[in-house]
Amino acid sequence: MSDDLPESTDSVHFARYLSGEASDAERQQLEAWVEADPERGQMLAQLTSVWETSEKQSPAPDVGRMWQEVALRAGIPSAPVSSAPAWYRGQGLLRFAAVLAATVGLSFMLSESQNREAILQQTVESVTVALGERSRIDLSDGTQVTLDAGSTLTYPARFGASLRQVTLEGEGYFEVASDPLRPFVVRARNARIQVLGTRFDVRAWDRGERVEIAVVEGKVSLDEARASDDTGVIIAAGQVGVLRDMGRPEAPRSVDTSRYLDWMRDEMAFDDTRLGEIVYRLERWHGVRFEFEEPAMAEERVALHVSSRSLDEALEVISALTGLSCDHEDGVVRLSTH
């Protein structure tokens, strides 16, 4: 049975099936075709209804003429009506004519549905989270993605049959719906992250020097996006993997992954991190701009934990850790040594 249901042989198949005269091979072929797509089951149900209700008597039908017309449309070699199968004659012929017409109409609707599905797979959606906000996105396969402020997720309106792929700029927490037949791939900067079903955080800011993946549950594969050989690493639950710019994935290390999810609790937790990277998060969260008196200040590395989303509290901690003065005025925070 073909996918596009040509109106010739397939109409005959349907009629033989509905009349109970289909061979085992024909019946199995049609049932397998129906099982491949739920919408085909609806089509068969409608054709069954047409078959069962197309019994209105027609006064003295010219069975011979109708047989020739239907045989021509169905692609059946011209032959006398006496040689036609019993279920083509009389009211059976009327039933078949109704099924033939319905098959053409329903095939068109099914084709239109398949075209709409193809369009959805080609339609690209993009969501960018405003500064100071956080957003959750539900994808077509049931996967949920939580995006931090300033992040962008690009994804198809409907995933295809063999692959689920999205692109991330910024930071996002993924709860991927399990689907062994369709791997889930996240492309972020120079990284390619592949999973089947798991929970993990991806940090891939354009101002950063690396992509980080913290796995909360399951496993993911991390590789350089353009790698032609198998150079990826497997990151298990409770581990973080790092891919630096123009580099290979580093060996995963065990961490407290909850610290990588601090942003979902409106907290900040950084270990041995550039000050410039820390203030970049504050810029996204609070819609402010940081200015350093000296560029070298942004390279200072600190460990910091702030248990609230308060800008004032963060500035107090930064000042205490670095000895820098933090002056906030008119949406600009100036860091200086005095």
pLDDT digits (tens, 9 = 90+) for 56-83: 444 444 444 544 554 554 455 544 545 5
Q: Residue 71 has what pLDDT?
A: 52
Tokens (6 digits) for 132 = 């100071």
| pLDDT tier at 50, thresholds 50, 70, 90 | low
When pLDDT is averaged across residues 271-298 and rounded to a whole number, the result is 91
Instruction: List the one residue out of 147, 156, 89, 150 whose CA is nearest residue 122.
Output: 156
CA distance 292 to 327: 11
pLDDT in tens, 221-277: 999 887 766 678 999 999 999 998 877 899 999 999 998 999 999 998 888 888 998
Q: Residue 69 has what pLDDT?
A: 52
Tokens (6 digits) for 277 = 């990277």
Residue 102 pLDDT more than 70? no
Q: What is the dihedral of CA 6, 9, 12, 17, to 10 degrees?
A: -90
Residue 11 pLDDT more than 70? no
Q: Residue 24 has what pLDDT?
A: 77
When pLDDT is averaged across residues 181-201 and rounded to a whole number, the result is 91
Q: Residue 181 has what pLDDT?
A: 86
User: What are φ and ψ of residue 220, in 5° steps?
Assistant: -135, 160
Inter-residue contact 177 to 159 (CB < 8 Å): no
Q: Residue 5 has what pLDDT?
A: 40
Query: What secondary structure letter does DSSP report for 82?
Result: G
Domains present along the chain, CATH in parentheses: 9-122 (no CATH), 124-257 (2.60.120.1440), 266-336 (3.55.50.30)
Q: Residue 12 has what pLDDT?
A: 58
| pLDDT tier at 21, thresholds 50, 70, 90 | low
Helices 9-19 and 38-53, axial angle in degrees (round to 10): 70
User: What are φ and ψ of residue 142, in 5° steps?
Assistant: 100, -5
Q: What contacts 272, CB < 8 A, 6 or more positions away?
A: 301, 302, 303
Q: Residue 317 has what pLDDT?
A: 92
pLDDT in tens, 127-174: 999 999 999 999 999 999 999 999 999 998 888 888 899 999 999 999
| Rounded percentage of the chain residues whose pLDDT exceeds 70 | 67
The model scores a pTM over 0.75: no
Tokens (6 digits) for 258 = 């909850």
| Rounded percentage of the chain residues whose pLDDT exceeds 90 | 44
Q: Residue 272 has what pLDDT?
A: 85
Inter-residue contact 219 to 237 (CB < 8 Å): yes
How many other C-beta atoms lie within 10 A of the C-beta of residue 2? 8
Backbone dihedral region for residue 272 (phi beyond 0: left; psi -120 to 50: alpha; all else: beta): left
